[in-house]
Structure 1
């Protein structure tokens, strides 16, 4: 057995035995999600929770003033921002804005991977968000933009435990050949486990677990379609480009590919990306 296969076997066994270290949801995101699920919570209470985290507070104000929400009148406080965003969207938006806290490492090789993966994830997110906005505009159908944003942000979450293993066992795990293979083969399964452990809805688990698996094609238009399309448009899913585009054409998500080269689309993509800058 090659060293690469032996390392993959070790990871597979850790997954089966539930001994692989899974990331925990950032504390502030957990607080916001719990509060959002409380039927008695109000906007004032939610604002107080978000205000406990200065970084999240600044990001919430920024997103409330962005083209993401299509507003031109600026807000300057967390309470105003939460009121503008609304309780129905604040749960997913706050979680999305807190996700970057997970993409850190002290190991130089792993750090390079994490930076690359985070940057790629933001590219996928921005293209997916813009593609959804084009679709809902032309089809007058609605898939929640805040859910789409979070789904795209967690689509590759399964790579983190693999990189954690690389960091903990640098002498055997932290090499590019192994990491690339392990990410492709195992990150989907691990991603689904993370979403379920965090108590996220099935839409998120499905995206994290199945987005690479082109044998999985759900009926109707779903978030996974836009995650795959975002990955194709960002250039990170080139190997499956033709399949993804054909599925999107069949589902009438795409009617004219040239729209993705239009100035309007690129502006929507850039506006979405600026949320995470």
Structure 2
């Protein structure tokens, strides 16, 4: 049997085909440049965000949401930066703008309401897990959890006829879905998402986490981020609100090595799921204010 065909050119072609639809908006590019500049200040970042009133309002709603539980209400972007930090502000802006951008992708095979519920639920669990593991800038994991499946929107939007049967026979089992995608195309939706988010400036650790979120054995060897996103995805799929499948929750086994790597146990996972539940709808309506859930 010969070697499998090289599908890399197909992945490049796929991304090139949607590059105009999913390119990062100018405000994210400017925020990233300002954040990396030596003379960057909170006021300079606030000035950039203030140029987009809708983005400013959504960031303030997130800063005032139960995700942070601040004792006093934050009224301005400058104050939000002072309270949550410049990098947290950037990651929240990234989460809001990326979600808005990807939600416009036409995709007849994916139930968009279910997709974004799963994405937001996973994001909140990833954020909580990161806090429990004392990960620096846990908002990074919120972003990775939120965007871990965006490759699906591209893949199933561009190849509906090729992948329609895959969606039907896997019945919402994500690892099996990714396996079928690799058999058909040579890559899966996680590969597409990771490459896509290179263009958004996500750091390598988060791109790797997205690429490996269905491959726990490989995730364990690449750092906490990949393991956290994998675990958040699995825990989300165990809930009615956050499951990826339209067929209901899936209680797939989580390897002991995952808990051991993070210094957590299944009770921590249950606590995270419970904590996310009462914050879920508030966060969903902030991230996607115009959507139908």
With structure 2 as the length reference, what TM-score do the two structures score? Answer: 0.73
User: In structure 2, which of residues 148, 156, 164 is the aligned counterpart of residue 155 of structure 1?
Assistant: 148
2: CA distance between counterparts of 1:240 and 1:271?
22
SS at match of 2:51: coil
1: CA distance between counterparts of 2:276 and 2:103?
28
2: CA distance between counterparts of 1:93 and 1:213?
27
User: In structure 1, which of residues 210, 216, 221 is the aligned counterpart of residue 218 of structure 2?
Assistant: 216
- Mark the CA change 1:212 to 1:14 in structure 2 (over 3 Å): closer, same or farther: same
Q: Which residue does 1:55 correspond to in 2?
A: 54
Matched-pair contact (CA < 8 Å) for 1:229–1:245: no
Which range is displaced more, 148-157 or 82-91?
Answer: 82-91
Q: Which residue does 1:79 correspond to in 2?
A: 78
Query: CA-to-partner distance for each residue in 1:66-95, whole Å, 9 max, x for gaps?
Result: 333341111212222232222232222210
1: CA distance between counterparts of 2:212 and 2:107?
30
Which range is displaced more, 175-184 or 83-92?
Answer: 175-184
SS at match of 1:216: helix
**RMSD between aligned alpha carbons?**
3.3
What does 1:1-277 align with in structure 2 at a 5 Å threshold?
A: 13-17=9-13, 19-22=16-19, 23-105=22-104, 107=106, 109-110=108-109, 112-133=110-131, 135-136=132-133, 141-166=134-159, 172=161, 175=164, 177=166, 184-185=181-182, 186-219=188-221, 222-235=224-237, 236=243, 241-242=252-253, 244-255=254-265, 257-262=266-271, 266-271=274-279, 274-277=282-285
Count of paired positions: 256
Matched-pair contact (CA < 8 Å) for 1:157–1:187: yes
SS at match of 2:155: helix
Unaligned runs of 5+ in 1: 1-8
Unaligned runs of 5+ in 2: 171-176, 183-187, 238-242, 286-293
Matched-pair contact (CA < 8 Å) for 2:145–2:229: yes
2: CA distance between counterparts of 1:107 and 1:196?
21
Matched-pair contact (CA < 8 Å) for 2:210–2:229: no
Deviation at 1:34, TM superposition (A): 2.1
Deviation at 1:198, TM superposition (A): 2.9
With structure 1 as the length reference, what TM-score do the two structures score? Answer: 0.77
Q: Which residue does 2:240 correspond to in 1?
A: none
Deviation at 1:26, TM superposition (A): 3.2
Deviation at 1:174, TM superposition (A): 7.7
